[in-house]
Amino acid sequence: MKMKENILLVALQERWKKYRLEIKTCKQEFSEEAVHDLRVATRRLMAVMDILRTLDPHPRTQKVRRVLKNQLDSLDDLRDTQVMLVDVYESVVNLPELESFEEYLLAREKKLLRRARKEIKALQLSELKRRIETSRALLEDNVQRRESTARLFSVVDQAYARAMQAFGQIDASQSASIHRFRIAFKKFRYTVEIVSPGLKNYPESYLKQMHDYQSRMGDVQDAEVFLGALMHFAEQTDSLSTLESARQSFENHRTELISAFMNSKEEIHLFWRAAPDQTFTWEKNHEPVHRSSRNRSGGGNARIRKRQPAPADRQGEKENAKDRTGVEGVES
C-alpha cells in the first residue's frame, strides 16, 4: 500500500511556512501569545526533521534540528517564568507571603522579555531556509518512489517504543520520571500528528486525547518547576520560614496533580499499536475513552494562559495574527 501523497513533503512545506509566519508575527507584534505560537511552530518543524533524520540520516538534517532546538531553548526561561506568574496570581490572595516572589518573577519576566524580543528581531533565516530547501528538494526528487506506509509508520513504532520504555519507569514518588515520560510522549504525539493523514479511520478525537494526556504531565512539571524556583528564592532571600506555608500548599497541589495523572496513565495504550505486527487500537476498539476537558485557567485569569501542549495540528487551519490575545512585550 502506497500513500496518496508524500506526507512528509506536505508536512515540511506547511510547517516551514507556519514557522516563518510565526517568526514574522513575533517581530511585528511581540507578545506572550506570539512567543508561545512560535515555540509550537518550532517544535512541529523539529518533529518533521526528526522523522527525516530517522529515515535518511544526514548531517544537514541534524544541523537544521540543532538550530531549531537552540532557538527553542533560548525561550524556555521566559516561558517558565510566565507560567509561574500564573500560579502566583491565582494564589497570592490566599497566600499573601508570595508577594515578594511575585515581584521577583515580574522583574525576571521583564528582563527575559527584553532579551527574547532582541533575539527574535535579530533572527536571520537565510541559512536555515537554504538547508530546508535542500531537504525539500531531496524529498521532491524521491516523490516517485514515495515512502511506504509501513516504513513511515515504523518511525512512529520507534517513538512509541521509547515512550513505553519511559512509561515503564514511571514512579509516582519521583516526578522526574513523569517528566522523562512526558518528553518521550511529546515526541511520539507530534510524530503521530504528521502521519495521521495516512492512517485509515484514525479517530480525530485521539489527537485531543493525546493533548489532554500530555497536559496532565505538564501540570506536574509546572508544579515541580514552581517549587524549585520558590525554594531557591526563599534560600536567597532568607525567607524559608515566611514561605513555608506556601511551600506546603504547592507540595500538596503537586501530589494531587501526580495522582490525577497516575489515575489516567494507562491511556497511553490507546494511542498506538502495541507492536508492529499487531492491530491498531481504533481498529479493534470502537468505544474511544472520553475525558472531560480541564479548565487550566483557574479563576478565569485572562492575563496569561498556563503551559499547555499545542492543540492538535490539523492541516489547512489558518490563524489570523490580529486575532491573537496576550500581554504585550516590554517596549525596547
pLDDT of residue 313: 62
Do 237 and 102 reside in the same domain of the chain? no
Do 178 and 254 reside in the same domain of the chain? yes
Query: What three-state secondary structure class fits 75?
Result: coil
Residue 204 CA to residue 197 CA, distance in Å, equals 10
pLDDT-above-70 percentage for the chain: 81
Q: Is residue 2 in some structural domain?
A: yes
pLDDT tens readout for residues 228-247 = 999 999 999 999 999 999 99
Do 153 and 130 reside in the same domain of the chain? no
Do 90 and 80 reside in the same domain of the chain? yes
Q: Is residue 280 in some structural domain?
A: no
Question: Where does a domain end: 124, 146, 168?
Answer: 146
Q: How many domains does the chain have?
A: 2
Helix axes 204-236, 244-264, angle to 10 degrees: 160
Q: Is residue 224 in some structural domain?
A: yes
Q: Is residue 289 in some structural domain?
A: no
Question: Where does a domain end: 235, 251, 272?
Answer: 272
- Can you read off the three cell numbers belonging to residue 1? 500500500
Across residues 71-95, what is the average pLDDT? 94
- Domain enclosing residue 78, as ranges: 1-146
Residue 40 CA to residue 19 CA, distance in Å, equals 9
pLDDT tens readout for residues 101-111 = 999 999 999 99
- Can you read off the three cell numbers belonging to residue 226? 514552581
Q: Is residue 210 in some structural domain?
A: yes
CATH assignment of the domain containing 55: 1.40.20.10
Question: Where does a domain end: 227, 246, 272?
Answer: 272
* Partners of 2 in beta bridges: 148
Q: Is residue 261 in some structural domain?
A: yes
Do 263 and 236 reside in the same domain of the chain? yes
Do 141 and 154 reside in the same domain of the chain? no
Residue 323 CA to residue 325 CA, distance in Å, equals 7
pLDDT tens readout for residues 291-317 = 434 443 333 333 444 545 555 565 434
- 238's CB contacts (< 8 A; 6+ apart) are none
Please state which of the ranges 61-65, 98-102, 166-170, 171-175 shows the lowest mean pLDDT: 61-65
Q: Is residue 28 in some structural domain?
A: yes
